[in-house]
Amino acid sequence: MTDEREGAPNALSGAGASRRRALVQSATGIAALACALGGCATSTKVQGNMTKEQAQYQDHPSGLERCGVCRHFIPLTGCEIVAAPVQSNGWCQSYAFL
Ligand code: SF4
């Protein structure tokens, strides 16, 4: 007598497992991309304390350059260089692209 479910996908193998594996891998990739672009909860960045005047900070972008795509930005309003708060649309002379 044969099991009617023999050959059917289950939790440990087959197409079901492949789909689950693909979903986990894509979710991990998206999380890694989000962290790379905007920082994440495990960031080791330390808040800076340079005054906005010293950094020549402005609360608007400089062309395409803005805090949100700067390597020093710490979401949501922090920065490794300039004292908080800074805005994701702000900019200063220490800007450095991701
Ligand atoms: S542009 Fe300046 S203020 Fe904005 S995140 Fe970068 S270093 Fe900080």
Q: How far apart are CA 5 and CA 66, in angstroms?
A: 57
Burial of 52 (0-12, 13-18, 19+ CB in 10 A): middle
Q: Is 92 in the pocket of ligand 1 (CB under 6 A)?
A: yes
pLDDT digits (tens, 9 = 90+) for 1-25: 444 455 445 444 566 656 555 544 5
Give the domain 39-98 fold.
High-Potential Iron-Sulfur Protein; Chain A (4.10.490)
**Ligand 1 atom at minimal distance to the Cα of residue 93:** 2
pLDDT digits (tens, 9 = 90+) for 16-52: 656 555 544 554 445 445 555 555 556 799 999 999 9
Q: How far apart are CA 21 and CA 87, in angstroms?
A: 38
**Ligand 1 atom at minimal distance to the Cα of residue 90:** 4
φ, ψ for residue 73, nearest 5 deg: -70, 140
Q: Is 68 in the pocket of ligand 1 (CB under 6 A)?
A: no
